[in-house]
């Protein structure tokens, strides 16, 4: 029983002859299916060969490596210069191609490789960012959601009642000046606009998560390195081919530690990937025109050894019996496809199986021959045997070893993307730099070789000798130092050695050849549109001013800008779209990363413009610094750093650190900060002056107060002292008055009291002006002190 049939459908209830008949029918049908794929393969191979593109590629390959018909013998057989070559007739024997000496120079100036390398490097620089992401994904909002995002109509639930929602963070009240938190607001009715805005936000978050996952897939398969190979093929051959996305099995290892032990866990996972394909191994449908996806099928050729081919029996969808058959036949069972590739790396592998991958449409009946489980699954959904499905067929030695469905079941697109350096009308392979340089390269080689040959000839001389006059000492007629010649004995005429021997110099035409060399370089620039200024060279035409230099750089990048657009439009955008389709079909991807929105992957084109307009971006700095224009300074800094081929993450803060810093108070502008510092300084100086003045006043006040208190104490003491002294004097005066009057002390006191009362009465009656009546007559009154009738004045 063939192993391609399902195991759960044995030949039960059938006789031996019926079983043999069914097996024979299966083998006949399988062979017919294999012949169908082989016929399509032959059609693709012959179509590419007849188009003449292989001859163009071979010439481009040789020009890049510096080979042409003049020096081809130098690149055969290694350093020996000899190689065994095939005979021209079937009955002939092997011959040796020896390095025959040629009278002309075989030098090859590798102008082609220089321009190819410069163009490929520049395109890679402007299309592959330093941080590894050349695309972005933006969900296209649903038109209905955009139209309803401002609709404030309350949304009613199934019961007809408005649905309430909790207040958002922006609607929450802020704490008061004293730190107290006001009560939260009441729930608000949910509006139609709230639902529409939520739908748009969810779509944007979904696109952002999908972009991160796709970027992780591309990083793991080293997408930037694969793209550099593709862009090098574009410059060298005119077309680059990238395969992807396709399911790729990977091995992942994880280390877990616990209880003093370490365990290594190995997991095999399948995820999308992409890789570079050599254009020599790409065979599209000859009827595809300029786009390989316009054809019905696509063939890819590869080579595989015994061990790797045998391991395929352990993988899904492969037919073990078919692989065993191929291994038994060996790699020489069929003739490998002859190719015009001069490198020989594709067609010259020994002990290698030639494996072919077919991408195209087949019927359900043909699918059932090699993959009955998939066929039964499709039939269960209502498919018929004659229905066409997008499939992938792997074939070795004209024997299919695997037949499965295309992972992109919905679109069925081939997992191959092509981009051309310059468009070739009617053909999927474009025109490369090497092909554009075919004439300048030939012109340069011819001029250099002619100049070298002329230089060799002009370095020697043409010597003429009359052998009837002179007899040369050697038979080779060569001139060596101190050569002695004799007169020919047969010569009877006059002997003059100067007349018998003459030397002539070949003119040197090196200056004229250099003019042709300069012409070749100028034609190379004009033909490829890649000026030498883009290769780091400057000359007399290089402008000295900044504006002139910027204008020249912009004009020099026009072609490379267009090539960068071809890469983005032909490879990056459709590749990311296919990655997104595989993301939608992957059951292991969370649903929050999937959306019905369309994908916008045009960041690569924006990246090209940023790379080419770096001077313009620098000039935007004043606008970015002005908050009135609303530019994001962080994005501006990232863009400027990225176009200088520096990873922004190596210099800038992480998002968490940036968010934490944003919560800190924003420092004022420098001029305001200086003004604030000056004002604060003036305030501190004034406060210090006021403090010093207040301290001085306090000290002065304390000193004055202490002086006043001291004076008061002194005055009080003096007053007490005077009063005591007066009292003593009064007592003495009373005693003296009493003694003098011979009266008693009490009587004296009475007299004094009487006198005192009189004086006080006189003072009160006299008034403040002293004009009152006089009631008391003093005992003694100085003359002229008081007028008549007035009281005594002191």
Q: Is the pLDDT of residue 524 over 60?
A: yes
**Contact status, residue 562 vs residue 608, Cβ threshold 8 Å:** no
Nearest CA to 396 among 318, 461, 489?
Answer: 318
The domain containing residue 405 runs over which residues? 16-82+103-114+214-431
Q: Are residues 393 and 475 in the same domain?
A: no
For residues 251-263, give the mean pLDDT: 70
Q: Are residues 714 and 775 in the same domain?
A: no
The verdict on whether omega for the bond into residue 473 sits within 30 degrees of 0, i.e. cis, is: no
Q: Is the pLDDT of residue 94 over 50?
A: no
Domain for residue 169, yes or no? no
CA 534, CA 520: separation in Å to the nearest integer?
A: 18
In the structure, what pLDDT confidence band is assigned to residue 149 with cuts at 50, 70 and 90?
Answer: low
Instruction: Please give the helix or strand (H or E) that residue 119 lies within, else none.
Output: helix 111-127
Domain for residue 141, yes or no? no
Domain for residue 762, yes or no? yes
Query: 240 or 73, which is more confident?
Result: 240
Out of 279-283, 349-353, 493-497, 763-767, pick the least confident.
763-767
Out of 145-154, 229-238, 271-280, 395-404, pick the least confident.
145-154
Domain for residue 331, yes or no? yes
Q: Are residues 233 and 294 in the same domain?
A: yes
In the structure, what pLDDT confidence band is assigned to residue 260 with cuts at 50, 70 and 90?
Answer: low
For the chain, percent of residues with pLDDT exceeding 70: 75
Confidence (pTM):
0.69
Q: Are residues 362 and 223 in the same domain?
A: yes
pLDDT for the residue 82: 43
Count other C-beta atoms under 10 Å from residue 613's C-beta: 17
- φ and ψ at 489, to 5 degrees? -60, -25
Supply the DSSP string of 52-67, one letter for each residue.
THHHHHHHHHHHHHT-
Q: Is the pLDDT of residue 705 over 50?
A: yes
Q: Is the pLDDT of residue 176 over 80?
A: no
Q: Is the pLDDT of residue 6 over 50?
A: no
**Contact status, residue 323 vs residue 309, Cβ threshold 8 Å:** yes
* Mean pLDDT for the chain overall: 78
Q: Are residues 348 and 254 in the same domain?
A: yes
For residues 235-250, give the mean pLDDT: 90
Domain for residue 561, yes or no? no
Count other C-beta atoms under 10 Å from residue 565's C-beta: 16
pLDDT for the residue 206: 83
Domain for residue 651, yes or no? no
In the structure, what pLDDT confidence band is assigned to residue 393 with cuts at 50, 70 and 90?
Answer: very high
Domain for residue 658, yes or no? no
Q: Is the pLDDT of residue 417 over 60?
A: yes
For the chain, percent of residues with pLDDT exceeding 90: 20
pLDDT in tens, 648-679: 776 777 777 777 777 767 667 777 777 878 88
The CA radius of gyration of the chain, in Å to the nearest whole number, is 55
Query: 612 or 200, which is more confident?
Result: 200
Q: Are residues 293 and 413 in the same domain?
A: yes
Q: Are residues 681 and 786 in the same domain?
A: no
Q: Are residues 377 and 229 in the same domain?
A: yes
Most confident segment among 132-146, 207-221, 582-596: 207-221
CB within 8 Å of 630: residues ≥ 6 apart? none
Q: Is the pLDDT of residue 623 over 80?
A: no
CA 327, CA 321: separation in Å to the nearest integer?
A: 10
pLDDT in tens, 9-24: 444 445 677 878 888 8
Q: Is the pLDDT of residue 79 over 50?
A: no
CA 227, CA 425: separation in Å to the nearest integer?
A: 24
Cα-Cα-Cα-Cα dihedral of 186, 189, 195, 201, to 10°? -20
pLDDT for the residue 61: 93
Chosen domain end from 449, 474, 504:
504
**Contact status, residue 152 vs residue 103, Cβ threshold 8 Å:** no
Nearest CA to 353 among 321, 325, 316, 317?
Answer: 325
Supply the DSSP string of 267-320, one letter for each residue.
EEEEEEEEEEE-GGGEEE-GGGTT-GGGSSEEEEEEEE-HHHHHHGGGSTTB-H
Q: The sheet that has 416-420: what strands, in order across it? A: 261-277, 239-258, 416-420
pLDDT for the residue 595: 75
73: DSSP letter? G
Query: 208 or 544, which is more confident?
Result: 208
Query: 225 or 704, which is more confident?
Result: 225
Domain for residue 641, yes or no? no
The verdict on whether omega for the bond into residue 285 sits within 30 degrees of 0, i.e. cis, is: no
CA 340, CA 346: separation in Å to the nearest integer?
A: 10
- Opening angle at CA 247, ends 245 and 253, nearest 5: 120
Chosen domain end from 443, 471, 504:
504
In the structure, what pLDDT confidence band is assigned to residue 630 with cuts at 50, 70 and 90?
Answer: confident
Handedness of CA 244, 247, 250, 254 (dihedral sign): positive
- Residue 782, CB-side half-sphere exposure with 13 Å CA sphere: 5
pLDDT for the residue 240: 95
Q: Is the pLDDT of residue 346 over 50?
A: no
pLDDT for the residue 396: 92
Q: Are residues 732 and 755 in the same domain?
A: no
Q: Are residues 294 and 424 in the same domain?
A: yes
569: DSSP letter? I
Q: Are residues 284 and 345 in the same domain?
A: yes
For the chain, the straight-line distance linking the first and the last C-alpha, in angstroms and rounded, comes to 162
CB within 8 Å of 610: residues ≥ 6 apart? 617, 639, 642, 643
Q: Phi/psi zone of residue 187: left (φ > 0), alpha (ψ -120 to 50 degrees), beta? A: beta
pLDDT for the residue 51: 93
User: Which two structure tokens, joined as six digits, stand for 554?
Assistant: 């912009």
Count other C-beta atoms under 10 Å from residue 348's C-beta: 11
CA 480, CA 762: separation in Å to the nearest integer?
A: 168
pLDDT for the residue 133: 73
User: Which two structure tokens, joined as six digits, stand for 112?
Assistant: 């082609």
pLDDT in tens, 546-592: 444 454 455 556 677 788 888 888 898 889 888 888 888 888 888 88
pLDDT for the residue 13: 45
- Number of domain units in the chain: 4
Q: Is the pLDDT of residue 543 over 60?
A: no
Q: Are residues 788 and 712 in the same domain?
A: no
Chosen domain end from 738, 763, 786:
738
pLDDT in tens, 708-756: 888 888 888 888 888 888 888 877 777 776 777 666 666 767 777 777 7
pLDDT for the residue 434: 93
pLDDT for the residue 504: 84
pLDDT for the residue 560: 73
pLDDT for the residue 254: 67
Query: 549 or 626, which is more confident?
Result: 626
pLDDT for the residue 555: 52
CA 12, CA 6: separation in Å to the nearest integer?
A: 13
- φ and ψ at 646, to 5 degrees? -120, 140
Query: 593 or 39, which is more confident?
Result: 39
């Amino acid at each position: 029983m063939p192993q391609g049939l399902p195991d759960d459908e044995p030949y039960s209830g059938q006789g031996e002859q019926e079983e043999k008949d069914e097996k024979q029918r299966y083998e006949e049908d399988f062979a017919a299916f294999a012949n169908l794929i082989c016929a399509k393969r032959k059609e693709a191979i012959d179509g590419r060969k007849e188009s003449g593109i292989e001859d163009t590629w071979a010439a481009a390959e040789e020009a890049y490596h510096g080979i042409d018909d003049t020096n081809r013998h130098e690149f055969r057989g290694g350093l020996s210069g000899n190689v065994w070559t095939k005979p021209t007739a079937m009955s002939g024997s092997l011959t040796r191609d020896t390095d025959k000496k040629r009278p002309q120079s075989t030098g090859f100036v590798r102008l082609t490789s220089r321009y190819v390398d410069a163009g490929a490097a520049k395109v890679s620089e402007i299309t592959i960012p330093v941080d590894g992401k050349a695309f972005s994904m933006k969900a296209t909002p649903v038109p209905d959601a955009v139209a309803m995002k401002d609709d404030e109509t309350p949304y009613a639930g199934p019961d007809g009642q408005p649905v309430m929602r909790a207040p958002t963070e922006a609607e929450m009240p802020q704490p008061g000046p004293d730190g107290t938190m006001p009560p939260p607001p009441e729930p608000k009715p949910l509006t139609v606009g709230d639902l529409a805005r939520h739908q748009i936000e969810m779509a944007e978050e979904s696109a952002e998560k999908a972009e991160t996952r796709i970027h992780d897939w591309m990083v793991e398969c080293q997408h930037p390195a694969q793209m550099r190979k593709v862009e090098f093929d574009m410059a060298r051959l005119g077309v680059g081919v990238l395969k992807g996305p396709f399911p790729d099995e990977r091995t992942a290892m994880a280390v877990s530690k616990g209880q003093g032990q370490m365990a290594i866990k190995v997991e095999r996972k399948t995820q999308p990937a992409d890789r570079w394909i050599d254009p020599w191994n790409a065979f599209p449908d000859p009827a595809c025109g300029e786009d390989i996806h316009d054809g019905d099928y696509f063939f890819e050729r590869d080579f595989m050894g015994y061990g790797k081919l045998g391991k395929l029996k352990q993988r899904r969808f492969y037919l073990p019996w078919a692989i065993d058959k191929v291994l038994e036949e060996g790699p020489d069972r069929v003739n490998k496809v002859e190719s015009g590739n001069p490198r020989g790396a594709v067609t010259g592998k020994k002990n290698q199986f030639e494996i072919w991958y077919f991408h195209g449409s087949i019927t359900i009946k043909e699918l059932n021959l090699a993959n009955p489980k998939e066929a039964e699954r499709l039939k269960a959904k209502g498919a018929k045997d004659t229905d066409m499905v997008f499939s992938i067929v792997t074939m070795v030695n004209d024997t299919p070893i695997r037949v499965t469905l295309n992972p992109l079941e919905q679109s069925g697109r081939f997992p191959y993307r092509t981009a051309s350096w310059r468009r070739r009308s009617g053909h999927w392979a474009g025109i490369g730099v090497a092909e554009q340089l075919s004439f300048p390269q030939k012109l340069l080689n011819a001029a250099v070789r002619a100049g070298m040959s002329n230089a060799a000839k002009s370095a020697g001389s043409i010597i003429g000798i009359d052998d009837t006059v002179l007899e040369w000492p050697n038979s080779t007629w060569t001139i060596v130092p101190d050569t002695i010649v004799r007169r020919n004995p047969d010569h009877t005429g006059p002997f003059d050695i100067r007349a018998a021997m003459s030397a002539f110099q070949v003119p040197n035409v090196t200056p004229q050849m250099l003019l042709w060399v300069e012409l070749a370089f100028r034609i190379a620039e004009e033909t490829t549109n890649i000026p030498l200024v883009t290769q780091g060279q400057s000359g007399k035409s290089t402008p000295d001013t900044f504006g002139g230099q910027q204008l020249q750089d912009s004009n020099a990048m026009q072609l490379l800008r267009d090539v960068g657009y071809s890469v983005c439009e032909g490879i990056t955008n459709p590749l990311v779209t296919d990655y997104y389709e595989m993301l939608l079909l992957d059951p292991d991807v969370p649903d929050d990363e999937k959306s019905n929105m369309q994908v916008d992957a045009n960041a690569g084109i924006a990246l090209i413009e940023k790379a080419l307009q770096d001077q313009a971006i620098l000039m935007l700095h004043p606008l970015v610094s002005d908050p009135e224009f609303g530019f994001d300074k962080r994005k501006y800094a990232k863009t400027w750093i990225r176009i200088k081929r520096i990873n922004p993450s190596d210099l800038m803060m992480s998002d968490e650190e940036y968010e934490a810093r944003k919560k800190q108070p924003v420092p004022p502008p420098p001029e305001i900060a200086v003004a604030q510092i000056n004002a604060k300084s003036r305030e501190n100086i004034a406060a210090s002056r006021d403090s010093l003045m207040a301290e001085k006043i306090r000290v002065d006040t304390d000193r004055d107060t202490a002086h006043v208190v001291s004076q008061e104490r002194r005055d009080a003491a003096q007053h007490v002292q005077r009063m005591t002294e007066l009292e003593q004097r009064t007592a003495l005066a009373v005693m003296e008055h009493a003694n003098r009057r011979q009266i008693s002390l009490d009587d004296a006191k009475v007299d004094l009291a009487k006198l005192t009362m009189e004086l006080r009465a006189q003072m009160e009656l006299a008034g403040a002006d002293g004009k009152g009546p006089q009631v008391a007559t003093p005992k003694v009154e100085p003359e002229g002190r008081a007028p008549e009738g007035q009281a005594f004045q002191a």
